[in-house]
């Protein structure tokens, strides 16, 4: 990384590090704001159902639409970030999120509210990939995992702000004022981003993709997707972050209140635990991943195994009402999935050239939000009828959607873990540089097997 020049012509590394930190913090704040807006329905869901006269399926459509737009935009966002740079994308993201939330504040009809959440999802979609692209430009691979995890932890702060503080604001200031002020402040922050963020360190040339035509763009996506590390990252992200996201975005609060019999205050505290645990553990997980990259996927595998056991206990408990300590422990463990999903982005960074990192990151990010969309929609459909009237039995059936997605994602993660390892062994045998040194195990794919199959 280049620094600023001192009077004797030498580079000042501390000054360069400070500049990089300021730029990253300015960009990461956009992601924090995005998670706040994304999570706002987690505590306003029941008010939205009353305001727009919605049943469970219609209420779930808010999350499905917003996250669906997010997922669909990840590949285009990655391509745009590689082409135009993260500063422009983050500026546009802040403007779009602000407009979407202001429109949601004044919406009086369900269709208009859906449009507002769609615009919000469009802006949200541009944030995380852009911040990760900045980190890749300003920091070496070993520090990438740490800063990616800290960024995710800052996003958890946005989620935290969307729990108890937003609940109090909605009760005091009301729906329109709360969301209008939040939207206006977000749009205003776009000016700060445009003035402070720079795509590359001072003195370095931006690594931009030259893909312009449809064929070149498709080839860029195809090249990123063919990399076994990218495909593994997709399934890691699919499996790890969807459950805490679904619980925090919409269905966690109704589940805790209506199925587990908690008070609104207790449910808010448990949802805050979802965020706090992820926020605290994130930097440590990121630093550990940076120091021991060979342990990244085994950590994911261990988490998925524990998550399966906990979901089995919650859904299989007689009567559907689990002991409060079990619920608290389960939500705390589920929250670790968010910082662990950073493994997926580290894989995209390590196995792709810098000019294609945005595209690969976008592909990986599609995984988790596709799982969120499928699960949120499935829960809404399985609940059916009036969401406010659902009991423990109804939620036990509806949350089978979570278990099904978790099992499927874990299976695909295991498949591509083996294939990515085989690709590393094959590259090492050819004398090529590999991002991570790993030891062959008895369960690894034989060297003669194909490693880039679908």
**Domain residues of the chain, as ranges?**
15-198+212-429
Report whether 235 contacts 409 (CB < 8 A).
Answer: yes
CB-based contacts of 313, cutoff 8 Å, min separation 6: 322, 326, 330
| C-alpha span between 44 and 117 (Å, rounded) | 13
CB-based contacts of 248, cutoff 8 Å, min separation 6: 39, 42, 159, 271, 274, 275
| pLDDT at position 5 | 46
| pLDDT at position 11 | 46
Report whether 359 contacts 40 (CB < 8 A).
Answer: no
Report whether 257 contacts 386 (CB < 8 A).
Answer: no
State the CB neighbour count (10 A cutoff) for residue 271: 27
DSSP strands (E only) in 242-283:
none
State the CB neighbour count (10 A cutoff) for residue 304: 21
| pLDDT at position 387 | 61
Condensed to tens digits (0 to 9), the pLDDT of residues 149-179 reads 888 878 777 777 776 777 778 878 888 888 8
- CATH number assigned to the domain with residue range 15-198+212-429, chosen from the 4 options 3.20.20.140, 1.10.1200.10, 1.20.1250.20, 3.40.30.10: 1.20.1250.20
Structure-block tokens of residue 296: 């990244």
| pLDDT at position 184 | 94
Condensed to tens digits (0 to 9), the pLDDT of residues 199-234 reads 888 767 655 555 556 777 788 888 889 988 999 999
| pLDDT at position 451 | 43
Report whether 141 contacts 435 (CB < 8 A).
Answer: yes
CB-based contacts of 303, cutoff 8 Å, min separation 6: 240, 333, 336, 337, 340
Report whether 271 contacts 248 (CB < 8 A).
Answer: yes
Three-class SS string for 3-14?
CEECCCCCEEHH
CB-based contacts of 402, cutoff 8 Å, min separation 6: 243, 246, 311, 375, 379
Q: Dihedral sign, CA of 318, 321, 324, 327? A: positive
| C-alpha span between 450 and 266 (Å, rounded) | 52
Q: Which pTM does this prediction carry?
A: 0.76
Cα–Cα distances in Å, from 201 out to 4, 99, 137, 144, 208? 10, 31, 7, 15, 14
| pLDDT at position 31 | 94
> Which residues of the chain are modeled with pLDDT < 70?
1-13, 163, 203, 205-213, 385-389, 445-454
Please give the torsion angle defined by the CA atoms of residues 267, 369, 296 and 275, in that order, rounded to the nearest 10 degrees.
Answer: -20
Please give the torsion angle defined by the CA atoms of residues 348, 349, 355 and 356, in that order, rounded to the nearest 10 degrees.
Answer: 0
For 287, half-sphere exposure in the C-beta direction (CA atoms, 13 angstrom radius) is 6
| pLDDT at position 212 | 55
**Angle ∠(22,24,25) on CA atoms, nearest 5:** 65
Pairing outcome for strands 11-12 and 4-5: antiparallel
| pLDDT at position 206 | 57
| pLDDT at position 385 | 62
| C-alpha span between 130 and 124 (Å, rounded) | 11
| pLDDT at position 388 | 62
Element (H, E) at 413: helix 400-429
Cross-strand bridge partners of residue 4? 12
Helices (H), 336-398: 337-340, 342-351, 357-383, 392-398
């Amino acid at each position: 990384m280049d620094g600023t020049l001192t009077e004797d012509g030498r580079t000042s590394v501390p000054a360069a590090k400070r500049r990089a930190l300021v730029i990253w913090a300015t960009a990461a704040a956009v992601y924090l704001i995005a998670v706040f807006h994304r999570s706002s329905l987690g505590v306003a869901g029941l008010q939205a159902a009353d305001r727009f006269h919605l049943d469970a399926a219609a209420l779930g459509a808010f999350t499905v639409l917003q996250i669906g737009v997010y997922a669909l935009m990840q590949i285009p966002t990655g391509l745009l970030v590689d082409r135009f740079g993260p500063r422009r994308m983050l500026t546009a993201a802040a403007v779009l999120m602000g407009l979407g939330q202001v429109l949601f504040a004044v919406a009086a009809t369900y269709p208009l509210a859906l449009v507002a959440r769609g615009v919000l999802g469009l802006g949200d979609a541009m944030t995380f990939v852009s911040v990760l692209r900045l980190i890749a430009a300003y920091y070496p691979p070993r520090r990438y995992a740490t800063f990616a995890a800290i960024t995710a932890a800052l996003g958890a702060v946005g989620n935290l702000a969307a729990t108890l503080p937003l609940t109090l604001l909605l009760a005091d200031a009301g729906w329109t004022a709360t969301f209008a002020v939040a939207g206006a402040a977000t749009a205003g922050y776009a000016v700060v981003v445009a003035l402070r963020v720079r795509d590359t360190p001072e003195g370095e040339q931006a690594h931009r993709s030259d893909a312009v035509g449809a064929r070149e763009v498709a080839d860029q996506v195809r090249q990123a997707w063919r990399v076994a590390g990218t495909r593994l990252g997709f399934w890691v992200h699919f499996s790890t972050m969807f459950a805490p996201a679904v619980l925090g975005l919409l269905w966690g609060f109704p589940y805790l209140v209506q199925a587990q019999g908690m008070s609104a205050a207790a449910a808010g505290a448990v949802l805050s635990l979802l965020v706090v645990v992820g926020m605290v553990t994130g930097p440590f997980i990121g630093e550990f991943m940076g120091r021991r990259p060979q342990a990244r996927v085994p950590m994911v595998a261990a988490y998925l195994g524990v998550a399966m056991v906990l979901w089995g206990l919650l859904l299989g408990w007689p009567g559907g009402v689990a002991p409060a300590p079990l619920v608290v422990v389960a939500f705390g463990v589920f929250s670790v999935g968010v910082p662990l999903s950073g493994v997926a982005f580290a894989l995209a960074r390590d196995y792709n050239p810098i000019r294609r990192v945005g595209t690969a990151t976008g592909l990986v990010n599609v995984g988790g939000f596709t799982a969120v969309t499928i699960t949120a929609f499935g829960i809404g459909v399985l609940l059916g009828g009036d969401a406010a009237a659902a009991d423990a039995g109804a939620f036990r059936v509806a949350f089978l959607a979570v278990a099904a997605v978790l099992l499927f994602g874990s299976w695909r993660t295991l498949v591509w873990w083996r294939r990515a390892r085989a690709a590393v062994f094959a590259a090492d045998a050819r004398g090529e540089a590999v991002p991570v040194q790993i030891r062959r195990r008895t369960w690894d794919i034989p060297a003669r097997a194909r490693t880039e199959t679908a």
